[in-house]
Amino acid sequence: MTKLVCIVCPKGCRLEVDEQNGCSVTGNSCPRGEVYGKSELQNPTRTITSTVRLTGAAHRRCPVKTAAPIPKHLISDAMRLLDDIEVSAPVKLGQTIVPDICGTGIAFVATRSFAAINY
Amino acid sequence: MNVSYELIVIGGGPAGMAAAYGAWRHGLRRILVIERDGELGGILNQCIHNGFGLHYFKEELTGPEFAERFINMLAEAQIDVLTGTTVLELAPGRKVHAVGSRSGYNIFAADSIVLAMGCRERTRGAINIPGTRPAGVLTAGAAQRLVNIEGYMVGKRVVILGSGDIGLIMARRLTLEGAKVLACVEVMPYSGGITRNIVQCLEDYNIPLYLSHTITDIRGNRRVEQVVVSKVDDGRQPIPGTEIVFDCDTVMLSVGLVPENELSRAAGINLDSRTNGPTVRDNMETSAPGIFACGNVLHVHDIVDFVTAEGERAGAAAAAFVTAQTPPGANLLRIVNGDGVTYTVPQTIDRDNMGDSVAVFFRPRRIFRDSHIVVEHAGGTLKAFKRPHMMPGEMERVNIARDVLAGAAGEITISCKELET
Ligand SMILES: Cc1cc2nc3c(=O)[nH]c(=O)nc-3n(C[C@H](O)[C@H](O)[C@H](O)COP(=O)(O)OP(=O)(O)OC[C@H]3O[C@@H](n4cnc5c(N)ncnc54)[C@H](O)[C@@H]3O)c2cc1C
Ligand code: SF4
B243 and B129 both lie in a single domain: yes
B356: containing domain: 349-418
List, chain by chain if needed, residues with CB within 6 Å of any ligand 2 atom: A 6, 8-9, 11-13, 28-30, 32-33
Residue B385 lies in a domain: yes
Q: What confidence tens digit (pLDDT) does each residue in A44-71 have?
A: 899 999 999 999 999 999 999 999 999 9
- Separation CA B165–CA B47 (nearest Å): 11
Residue B317 is predicted with a pLDDT of 96
B129 and B247 inside one domain: yes
Are B229 and B323 in a shared domain?
A: no
Q: What pLDDT, on a 0 to 100 scale, did the predictor assign at position B134?
A: 87
Rg for chain B, CA atoms, rounded = 22
The topology (CATH level 3) of A49-110 is: CPE0013-like fold (3.10.530)
Q: Check if A80 contacts B (Cβ < 8 Å).
A: no
Residue B164 lies in a domain: yes
In order along its 421 residues, chain B shows pLDDT tens digits of 568 999 999 999 999 999 999 999 999 999 999 999 999 999 999 999 998 998 889 888 999 999 999 999 999 999 999 999 999 999 999 999 999 998 899 999 999 999 999 999 887 655 677 777 789 999 999 999 999 999 999 999 999 999 988 999 999 999 999 999 999 999 999 888 888 888 889 999 999 999 999 999 999 989 999 999 999 999 999 999 999 999 999 999 988 888 999 999 999 999 999 999 999 999 999 999 999 999 999 999 988 999 999 999 999 999 999 998 777 788 899 999 999 999 999 999 999 888 899 999 999 999 898 899 999 999 899 999 999 888 888 899 999 999 999 989 899 999 999 987 5
B400 in the same domain as B281: no
Give yes or no for a contact between B234 and B273, defined as CB atoms under 8 angstroms apart.
Answer: no
User: Quick one: average pLDDT of A22-30?
Assistant: 90
Measured in angstroms, the CA of B67 and the nearest CA of chain A are apart by 9
All CATH 3.10.530.10 domain ranges of chain A, comma separated, are 49-110
Residue B283 covered by a domain: yes
Nearest bound ligand to the CA of residue B260 = 1
Contact B365, B342 (CB under 8 A): yes
Whichever domain contains B135, its CATH number is 3.50.50.60
Q: Give kind and range of the element (H or E) at residue B174.
A: helix B165-176
Q: How many domains does chain B fold into? A: 3
Chain A interface mutation, best of B176, B197, B394, B397, highest count of A Cβ atoms under 10 Å: B176
The ipTM of this complex is 0.86
Task: Categorize the per-residue pLDDT at A2 as very low, low, confident or very high, splitting at 50, 70 and 90.
Answer: confident
Report whether pLDDT(A119) > 70.
no
Report helix, strand or coil for B113. Answer: strand
Q: With a cut of 70, say whether residue A79 has pLDDT above it.
A: yes
In SS3 terms, A7-69 reads as CCCCCCCEEEEEHHHCCEEECCCCHHHHHHHHHHHHCCEECCEEEEEEECCCCCEEEEEECCC
Nearest to B55 by CA among B352, B221, B304: B304
The verdict on residue B343 lying in a domain is no
Question: By the 8 A CB rule, do B275 and B281 touch?
Answer: no
Pocket lining: B304 vs ligand 1, CB cutoff 6 Å: yes
**B340 falls within a domain:** no
Ligand 2 centroid to B55 CA: how many Å? Answer: 10
Domain shared by B146 and B248, yes or no: yes
Q: Count CB neighbours of B406 within 10 A.
A: 9
User: What average pLDDT is seen over chain B?
Assistant: 93
Within a domain: B342:
no
Choose the final residue of a domain: B255, B290, B309: B255
Q: Is position B344 within any domain?
A: no
The residue type of B15 is A
Same domain, yes or no: B133 and B234: yes
How far apart, in whole angstroms, are the C-alpha atoms of residue B19 and residue B77?
13
Q: Does the beta carbon of A85 lie under 8 angstroms from any beta carbon of chain B?
A: no
| Residues B249 and B130 both lie in one domain | yes
Contact A59 B195 (CB under 8 A): no
Q: Is residue B338 part of a domain?
A: no
Nearest to B124 by CA among B142, B147, B150, B144: B142
Q: Which of B65, B63, B72, B82 is nearest to B11 (CA)?
A: B82
Supply the pLDDT for residue B55: 85
A75 has a pLDDT exceeding 80:
yes
Whether omega before B14 lies within 30 degrees of 0, making that bond cis, reads no
Whether B140 contacts B165, CB under 8 Å: no
Beta partners for residue B396, in sequence order: B362
Cβ contact B39–A58 (<8 Å): yes
